Structure 1
C-alpha cells in the first residue's frame, strides 16, 4: 500500500462545511473530512502547500509541516472523527474545488437565512 499524501487542514464552521461536502459529493467527489467532537467545525484534508495561498474568509488552513497520515485508521487530529474517511478513494480534497464549494455553500446559507428572516421562522 502506498503511503498517504502529506496534508494540511482547512477548517470551516460545520454548517458551511456540511453544505460543501454535499456540493462536492454531487459534483466531483469529496476527499477526507474530519468533524470535531463539539460539532462546531469540519476539517477538509488538502495537499501540503495549500496554506500558503489560502485566504477564504470564515475559514483557516493549518500547515502540518508535511506530516502524512495513515491510509486508513484513526483520524490524524485529536478530538475528531471521520465524516468522510480516506478509504473512499480521494486522498485529499482539491483546494480549488473546495474553495468553490465553500463559496457556494456560504451563498446558499445566506439565501436560506434571508428567506427564514422574511418568513419569520
Structure 2
C-alpha cells in the first residue's frame, strides 16, 4: 500500500503551469496542472537534452520542453512522434484539493538519473564501427 505525501494545494499550481518538488536525492519532480485541473507528475528532465520541463508550456495533456520544443505526454512522460524517449512519471492523487505524491517513489524512483548537459552524446555511448577485418 502506498504512503502518500502532501505536496501542496491544487490552487498552488498555476493553471497550465507547474510546481517543482525538490528531493533529497536525484532530479526534482515537476507537478503539472492543466486547464481541466488534472494533475500530473514527471521527472523535471526532458529525455532529449535534460531541459527543465517545469518551465515548459502546458497544453491539453502535454508539455513542451523549453529548450527544443519537444512535446511529452503528461500522462506517460513519453515524447510525441517523431521524437523518441521518455522521462519517468510519478503517481499523483488529489484529495480535498490537496496534491499528494507517492512517498516511496519520491525517495527511490529515478534517483540515479542526472540532468544531462546539453550537447553531443559522450563518446562512450556512441556506436563504434570496427575497422578490423574478420
Task: Note whether the superposition's TM-score is higher than 0.5.
Answer: no
Q: What TM-score do you get using the length of structure 1 for normalisation?
A: 0.30
Identify the structure with bigger relative contact order (alpha carbons < 8 Å, sequence gap 6+): 1
Structure number with larger C-alpha Rg:
2
Q: What TM-score do you get using the length of structure 2 for normalisation?
A: 0.28
